[in-house]
Structure 1
């Protein structure tokens, strides 16, 4: 790490409030504009004097690699946003640090080996089959793919987590997650928030939702722990309850709940985003959709896909990767610098909030020709090898890279293959506005017309 470097440029914004309104109105667009106007390391100041926040955007692939991998120990999850997520969804793998994180990772990693994850393919294909059956019986031939894929991904990850208890958990998760997520986001982005213990309407709504969500998780966890080694099934909750080692012991009930909540949050919203935008992009590009369908039909030949089919569907995999480039589920990733660090010829001061943004790096003209154009063949093997490692990082990177990468790819590719084999899609809404929430979120409809394959 080096602390030498030129002052960091950035937008001046309003005289007293800086860039606060730009960041609140359209953070992703503000980051893109800042990179074009000021370069790959940009300083943002937002808020009135006395409450002003200073943040540094790092937008090059090389800078992202330094923050997430090379100097990862110097860039920690110590900012306000992660603290709010931690208080809402627990101290699981996404939010824990240091010894807590290392212990959790060692205990949980065996549950996410490629072989173990491949065993979840049946849950994915079962839920996708149920979705297709509902579409076949629906009178309306137009669906919002964001809503539909959110439901599919939630049911799939909940079934993998809860097994036979999925129907008990799903209604509570569907009702409580949006309340807690919106509340957490508002507090994470606000300059100042009242204590959670104050009886404000927002605090009370959130506390009620958290009580209900925690209660259903605790009830199921208690039942599994009571069964001990006699518990049947290979759902993740049972496996978490049984996970132990001589070095790390086992997870207690609260730790299991924290992992379950983080898996629910990270495991369904991110995959839903990737699936929804892959479908929407294909609905806007009929030639690429036809090519993807041809591959699915040829490889699957009418049967239900299995985990081993993932390797035999390279074009569908490239479609998904290109959708994740244009619409990364984690469009911005925050850290806080421990020590002053030199990045790209500039100095990031100690204690500074730092953001690396896949949304921006995935559109950087240094790495991507015509970056707004949809082109799955950007991810042909020879093209991938020619780019820097962190030109594309939808799963983060370094020691904190997403543990569920293989599961997300498996679920998304198999579901895409099943949907495209049965339906042709045509975009009704040609553009879908988005915003950066805890994950990327659409702010308008993403409707597609469905036509059964082969229908006149």
Structure 2
């Protein structure tokens, strides 16, 4: 029997757009508490069906995923990312996924992780040589090191001399994309508005860098153990003799920009939240430092050599800390899918062309599956602690066939960065005033996180 979907009242013409734009997390949380399973709202003149329960989220993202394509909201991201894995759809997406998947197999991640260790260790050493008499902007410091890591793992190059300009360009694109996403008025991209001019300038700087890397690699023909090499030479065996067996240059650009953006910004934001939470929870920090010391302190290496990647995989509590941080502050805090045909989620009808919205943030803060959900507790991810918890109650990297292809890459990078940092430094809060989450394209801190770092006397 079909059940009528409850509709949340809104204003004439604009519906719920203004309420969502003012406070997305607060609005979504209130809707969850009021309606429980599903509610229809109107944003930007489009019907949006918010689903709150893990079993319904699983249905949309996994069980009937072929009926739910990228929503119109992704057009905003597609303007910058092109037809990368994050924004493409249908058969084209499946073709691209087959081409890119081998680059993220476990043995490839291990190879790239060695670069992560080298760059992270160099960054920690530089911090130790810097002036730590006052607090540091750890948000910016992490943006810098994650960009170094993604440049080396993606392009085998050091772009440190261009970091400031590149970071600014990526930040500009993020902010402008978020404005466009929430704006009820969509100005044509060809109009020379101030925002469109800023957008074009920022995109050109990123494109110049990415196309430069691709052109240089093609000209030299030199092989490298990096992601660009894997993408350049990847072949889709199902394509037969088609010219699409390998990626054309435009597609290489789109995939590189997607990996570059996701591998840089989302990892830095997640790491900043992790350190913020640890500074608030000194007992967890001490336990983490004890695990790191217990593992890295017993690794036998030649003098001056760095720990092997396997050592970082032998730190379960370090991974739990990262997982709990991403529960509280998932970088992808909301995602949307458009119904390609009429459907039902349980007894509720979803019309073709309407959008379904899923919020990992709400799923991660639901007290039904996460008792005392605002408390930081890495033991939620201890072995066996997930017994009885729905799989789709935790979605830091999405779910179903479109699970983020770089999830293991990101987790490995965060574990390495975190372990090496807390091995050398104690961290302390400078400002006791809480930092609020700011839901842009990713869930960012409302202001830069500033921490006091103190060198540990036991640091090597």
TM-score by length of 2: 0.92
Residue 311 (structure 1) aligned with residue 313 (structure 2): yes
Report the alpha carbon displacement of residue 28 of structure 1 after superposing the two structures with TM.
1.3
Residue 159 (structure 1) aligned with residue 152 (structure 2): yes
The secondary structure found in structure 2 opposite 1:347 is strand
Q: Deviations over 1:214-242 (max 9, x none)?
A: 122112211212333xx132121122222
RMSD: 1.9
The secondary structure found in structure 2 opposite 1:350 is coil
Distance 2:109 2:346 in 1: 38
Aligned residues, how many?
445
What corresponds to 1:298 in structure 2? 294
Contact 2:148/2:158, CA 8 A, preserved across alignment: no
Matches within 5 A, 1:101-140: 101-139=93-131, 140=133
Contact 1:337/1:350, CA 8 A, preserved across alignment: yes
Residue 424 (structure 1) aligned with residue 426 (structure 2): yes
Report the alpha carbon displacement of residue 141 of structure 1 after superposing the two structures with TM.
3.6
Of 78, 84, 94, 2:86 maps to 94
Distance 1:24 1:381 in 2: 39
The secondary structure found in structure 2 opposite 1:244 is coil
Report the alpha carbon displacement of residue 111 of structure 1 after superposing the two structures with TM.
0.7
Distance 1:339 1:182 in 2: 33
Q: Which runs of 4+ in 1 moved over 3 A?
A: 13-18, 165-172, 245-248, 302-305
What corresponds to 1:448 in structure 2? 451
Of 232, 236, 243, 2:223 maps to 232
Distance 1:445 1:99 in 2: 41
TM-score by length of 1: 0.93
Q: Deviations over 1:92-149 (max 9, x none)?
A: 1111111211111111111110110111122222222232223223324412332222
What corresponds to 1:174 in structure 2? 167
The secondary structure found in structure 2 opposite 1:93 is coil
Of 3, 8, 18, 1:6 maps to 3
The secondary structure found in structure 1 opposite 2:349 is strand
Report the alpha carbon displacement of residue 23 of structure 1 after superposing the two structures with TM.
0.5
Contact 1:43/1:56, CA 8 A, preserved across alignment: yes
What corresponds to 2:23 in structure 1? 26
Distance 1:402 1:435 in 2: 22
Contact 2:144/2:163, CA 8 A, preserved across alignment: no
Residue 59 (structure 1) aligned with residue 52 (structure 2): yes
Distance 2:232 2:165 in 1: 21
Contact 2:76/2:177, CA 8 A, preserved across alignment: yes
What corresponds to 1:261 in structure 2? 257
Report the alpha carbon displacement of residue 177 of structure 1 after superposing the two structures with TM.
1.2
Q: Deviations over 1:268-309 (max 9, x none)?
A: 222112211111111100111100100000001176333212
Report the alpha carbon displacement of residue 345 of structure 1 after superposing the two structures with TM.
3.4
The secondary structure found in structure 2 opposite 1:331 is coil
Distance 1:236 1:330 in 2: 23
Contact 1:318/1:377, CA 8 A, preserved across alignment: yes
Report the alpha carbon displacement of residue 192 of structure 1 after superposing the two structures with TM.
2.4
Report the alpha carbon displacement of residue 246 of structure 1 after superposing the two structures with TM.
4.4
Larger mean Cα displacement after TM superposition, 107-116 or 241-250: 241-250
Q: 1:306 to 1:25 in 2, by over 3 A?
A: farther
Q: 1:74 to 1:443 in 2, by over 3 A?
A: same
Contact 1:59/1:361, CA 8 A, preserved across alignment: yes
Of 390, 393, 413, 1:411 maps to 413
The secondary structure found in structure 2 opposite 1:381 is coil
Q: Deviations over 1:158-191 (max 9, x none)?
A: 2111112534764553232122222222222222
Q: Deviations over 1:194-227 (max 9, x none)?
A: 1111111211221122222212211221121233
What corresponds to 2:439 in structure 1? 436
Q: 1:397 to 1:89 in 2, by over 3 A?
A: same
Larger mean Cα displacement after TM superposition, 106-115 or 264-273: 264-273
The secondary structure found in structure 1 opposite 2:23 is helix
Unpaired segments ≥5 residues, structure 1? none
Contact 2:148/2:160, CA 8 A, preserved across alignment: no
Distance 2:360 2:210 in 1: 33
